[in-house]
Amino acid sequence: MLSRAEGSKQHSTRVADDLLSTSIIHDLRNPLAAICAGAEMLADLHLTPDHAQRLGHNIRTAAGRMRRLLADLAGVSQGKTGAEEDCYLREILISVSDELAAAAARQDVEIFLDVPAGLEMTMARARIERVFINLIANALEAMPGGGQIRVTATNAGECAVIAVEDSGPGIAPEISDRLFDPFVTAGKKEGLGLGLALSRQAIRQHGGDLWLEPAEGARFVIRLPLKAELK
């Protein structure tokens, strides 16, 4: 028979896994919409070769995102958190920035990266990519009329400290203390209010942390441990 503490831990794990599964299923909508829209536009025989090439790139990117999300979902169903691999932070952030570049351009939002090369970490790459995609996508949603997103990173000894900051209206004070609770949203038109809660969970499971800092816009800070030989 399980003790009360063991039963509570198992219940918490099941709830977290259920939330992650729900979030992934919800997140599949965006890349699926991009694929459908791109496929419809490719059916237009009057597209220029450059336009068709861009659409093809967007479709491939969205399909890759769906594959990673489905792999995450399969891992959750099997009780796995994802296979870890050695990754360079700059490569991850460039990949995320490229994935969201088209959406940013449509909104006249500029994404700036100031991330030094050589910051290597051991992580479940797909999960950490989802954290940054969530933070940058949230920033985009907060700035429909244009703005800037800055992603910076520094080597703080045993860890890297990464900041994602936007020039939007910021987080309302009445929800800032509860922002990482499940089902709390910062005025989003769509969404389940799970993204930040699951992002913090993913970062903490990698030995780091995620928090909000005061700023003119929204400023999220992540601490992640560096690979052992870099510490």
Q: What is the 3-state secondary structure (H, E, C) of 45-76?
A: CCCCHHHHHHHHHHHHHHHHHHHHHHHHHHHH
Report residue 192's pLDDT band, with 50, 70 and 90 as the boundaries. very low
Domains contained in the chain, CATH given = 1-80 (1.10.287), 83-231 (3.30.565.10)
Q: State which amino acid sits at residue 89.
A: L
pTM (2 d.p.): 0.69
Question: At 203, which helix (H) or strand (E)?
Answer: helix 195-205
Report residue 48's pLDDT band, with 50, 70 and 90 as the boundaries. confident
| Phi and psi torsions of 189, nearest 5° | -70, -35
pLDDT over threshold 90, residue 149: yes
Rg, C-alpha atoms of the chain: 18
What's the pLDDT tens digit per position in 51-110? 888 778 778 777 776 776 666 666 555 544 567 899 999 999 999 998 888 889 889 999
Distance between CA atoms of 71 and 103, rounded to whole angstroms? 24
The distance of Cα 91 from the centroid of its chain, to the nearest Å, equals 14
Looking up tokens 């068709």 gives 52
pLDDT over threshold 60, residue 120: yes
